[in-house]
Structure 1
């Protein structure tokens, strides 16, 4: 089946202007310099012009290639300046690429920023019909969806008010309702949803999921990795205007965080004269490195003790959050002196312990001789990564709340609620 979106060798260049060191240039100087450049071209028609120090070429996107199939829900991830918004503007046909081409099969509805897509002088009612017409829908088709759009946006009282008088929240509610309900084959949504309140964000996420299940395509940009992980199946990671990764959404999230948490060599030591790290594994975690918040899983380390030692070689696992902060450290209990050989150390992480998000696991082995003396045999700070997902199903204790839950741990504790009599 041919892709619904195909991007080939895409690039977008902007010309940046830099202020020259000369603070003031008279009109006479501008005219004189222009005449000199013209005369130089007449005398030397084949000469190449010197580069202008006040202008610089900046490639916001370069060498971008990917295909998106019908029905895919794709999260586009990257730090500020990575090229996400530029890519969406090109896909939405707001701006043209400098090089390369895009092929899109179907109608595109986009919600990129507050103010995009509506005429400020027209009322909410008029803008609904205008957007439908732009999408190629007939007046009858728009009328069929009209009441549903208004109910979703919750702006009934302001339908006949010019949208320039809307608050940013009202504007986004109506813009999203129009984009999602006028049945586009492709729905493109940028971080603009952050303007809405938590309840409206939940409605939007539910609607985008519904759109995806109907076989339509969703492209979603957000810095909220938990939201991206829940909504999308696939991910595209942009880094410095280039495509860094395309694949399963959890792998894309981990790729994004690995770039931000790349360990230095000082944090990686794989062996000593006494012991060596042989390998590591996550058991019970999906192929794409994701695990639901409700499921337990096992962190396994394989290591070798090279020689007999008068001490206890204790495996220890260090858990870090996506921003690089410590979550906790777990050390094995009941370790005795062990003869040389290969060993496995398994640590079970219980269900309903970690909050949703990306995590890194550092694997270490420490030899303890007494209370005052120990040696770190090896330590790999980012040996393993995984992504915890909250499916927001009936087992979740969110009570319909769709926003991020604070904290790095989210244990399921025992509660007792009783009436005071």
Structure 2
């Protein structure tokens, strides 16, 4: 299989529809699998999580309930089927949400984190008075690696995916190779990315109308007049930048508040799917490029975002929506303006000097503020590079973009290893 085909396959695999934040949805999914294996309503639910999954489920909104947290996510899973994977909240009946609240308040749905777990890990244990069942999801939000219970054969249930993550195209691909591959993909095979952008635009419109969550997107002024460019020469960058921020933030606002509308996720993150696709979609529309080129720009943004995210980690201690998303936005925007990989690599190094300090302190309504910063910085840093601004190698910024990303990844994975405990302690302390 050629490199372009491998990249296309990876993009298709990493774009998934989800309703709600992916960590609560994955917790509910694991519980739903375990209960299907149990074959009866559970008397008790227990979930064991890695610290970062636990953190990301603490404060984010859930559909049809004002309650939050990993234990409440687990309680919702008791009333859902695993068949729809990360879209399972679509089937949630508001009356069942009330029952889930009762299950949660009774103390029969509990959640814990294990500090020794370093990758995405969700283990759901359920029992009734007679039997027990267990389901385990690892590495990816839908990657069921273990399933035990008395009704496996009856429901034809079995683990379906990889006990260890498979090697991917991101492992040994340099940025220059990736840029070339992504910008040469057949546009006729990229309609799924255009559909993903449209899906995310729909929830953005909801956020703009309703002022969901924190309301960041709705607070950014007067979107309708922001994309007024008549052509390339009077292209309104300030307007497009503000519009891109508003639309991306509005989608994140709605998603983080639990609005039950689908989002096209990227690399397991809905906010990443929003950040890497919607701003680029607006830039392409503002520049009035052909549909084929717009589709290729989405592929480039998604590929660069995933390339960076793979190094940072599936659940990173650095905000990947702001950091990796800004890399995708900048790369695709410069490509739309006619740049080759050289100014793009300089831009990404510049971004490493500004956005690598944005910490992920859990999924929650204020994520839209980080997305706002990432979108604006990605677009404006791209323009600064075109004006000749280049940060010299120092600190995290190295001679090449590949080395620079390795430095940021080392900071996230090694240098910030103690951050999980501190952040969880802050969350436990409450307001």
What TM bracket, shorter-length normalisation?
Answer: under 0.3
- Give the number of the structure whose residues are more often helix, by fraction: 2
Q: Rg: which structure is higher?
A: 1
- Give the number of the structure whose residues are more often strand, by fraction: 1
Higher relative contact order at CA 8 Å, sep ≥6: structure 1 or structure 2?
Answer: 2
TM-score (norm 1): 0.26
TM-score (norm 2): 0.25
